[in-house]
Amino acid sequence: MIRTLIRKLREKKFSYEPLVKVELDGDRLIKNFRVFNTMRPGVCVAPVLKSNAYGHGLLLVGKKLDNEHPPFFVVDSYHEAVILKNEGIYSDILILGYTFPQNILNARRNDVVFGLTSIGQIEELSKSLKQKKRFHLKIDTGMHRQGISIDDLLRAVRLIKKNPYMLLEGICSHFADADIKNSEPTKKQIERWNNIVASMKKEFPNLKYMHTEATAGTQYGNLIHANVLRVGLGIYGIDSAKRNDLSIAPILRMESVVAGIRKIQKGECVGYNATFCADREMTVAVVPVGYFEGVDRRLSNKGFFKIKEKYCPVIGRVSMNMTSVDVSHIYDVKEKDIIEIISSNPGDKNSIESIANECGILPYEILVRIPEKIRRVWK
């Protein structure tokens, strides 16, 4: 409470109007969560909040979804778990990434659950753990990136059982190719996973959680023996598998302002390296966003922003903190006009999906590169 009061006083003392703002739609967030949470009877959703909630804001999203009473939140690091718990998040936190055994041994909270991701980590904990801690065992079913190999699984089980303080609450895995429909590698992983679930239930009759699906993997849901979905991108309204049966919508939009307007003549160039030269007299607006603010440099001379519901092409190089756009077709544009950098409408030319397609990258990459320093607000 004291920390919150100090923060509010500091914010009041140093209040200002930001040039760039990220707006989040809380109603869409809750609706997206419930779409997945009611997808299959007996299967609940654990929202993934890693990487600043996929760029949306760790604390904002965590506090909003905490009211939906998920079984647990998923983060990548102990650092993220500490941030959430220090701000009063009630739900359990599962750290699915690697954690130093020493940090697990020193942890004092009983509402933070740790992922067991390597045999060396399990060996050290089995020897040293002297207080009860809850764990989820990550098993490599075919992605070959993280987790206990199937060959080491029996050894891991013995080490866990050897220490009465190691409480195995869940098991998990991760699909490598689930965004592809009818993927043979995914079907093989599912077969391995289902066999592992059956054997692990015999070894640990009180096993509470089994999870391997992320957003894309839900299209294989009826084939998978699990009772939890780990949903990240889908919670935020983007489906990397490009399915048509999910009624979800993006929750994020970014806006800035017109910071300056100038006329240029035919033959004059804009930006670094003169990559754009006018073929006519033009009106150009400069916008105080660039690749530091998350505008991908590959949008140079290709991307779009939007003013007054009209698309404005990016012209010239995207700079570190500035981008120029053609506003010749907007007769009444002026300084301080709102300009939409990222749209929350999937069909727009400046949506996350469109930007990712234009740049040849994944939507994740656009979202997580939005700096934490940019203010996030609820719509």
State the DSSP code for 343: B
Do residues 30 and 81 share a domain?
yes
Tell me the two tokens of residue 290.
């660039």
**Start-end of H helices in the chain:** 2-13, 26-37, 50-54, 58-66, 78-86, 101-106, 119-128, 153-162, 184-203, 352-359, 363-368
Q: Are residues 269 and 138 in the same domain?
A: no
Measure the CA–CA gap between 186 and 192, rounded to whole angstroms: 10
Go through the chain and tell me how many residues it has.
Answer: 379
> Which residue range(s) make up the domain with 45?
26-231
242 occurs within a structural domain: no
Looking at the structure, tell me whether residues 194 and 263 fall in a common domain.
no
Same domain, 260 and 215: no
In a domain, 240, yes or no: no
| 182 shares its domain with 65 | yes
For residue 244, the model assigns a pLDDT of: 72
The domain that holds 105 is classified in CATH as 3.20.20.10
Q: Which helix (H) or strand (E) holds 308?
A: none
Instruction: Please give the model's pTM, rounded to 2 decimal places.
Output: 0.92
Residue 237 is assigned to a structural domain of this protein: no
Task: Determine phi and psi for 19, rounding to 5 degrees.
Answer: -75, -25
Q: Which amino acid is at 104?
A: I
pLDDT in tens, the chain (379 residues): 666 666 666 666 667 889 999 999 999 999 999 999 999 999 999 999 999 999 999 999 999 999 999 999 999 999 999 999 999 999 999 999 999 999 999 998 899 999 999 999 999 999 999 999 999 999 999 999 999 999 999 999 999 999 999 999 999 999 999 988 889 999 999 999 999 999 999 999 999 999 999 999 999 988 999 999 999 999 999 987 777 778 999 999 999 999 999 999 999 999 999 999 999 999 999 999 999 999 999 999 999 999 999 999 999 999 999 999 999 999 899 999 999 999 999 999 999 999 999 999 999 999 999 999 999 999 9
On whether both 227 and 260 belong to a single domain, the answer is: no
Q: Are 276 and 301 in contact (CB under 8 A)?
A: yes
Assign residue 360 the CATH number of its domain: 2.40.37.10
Measured distance CA(300)–CA(297) in Å, rounded: 6
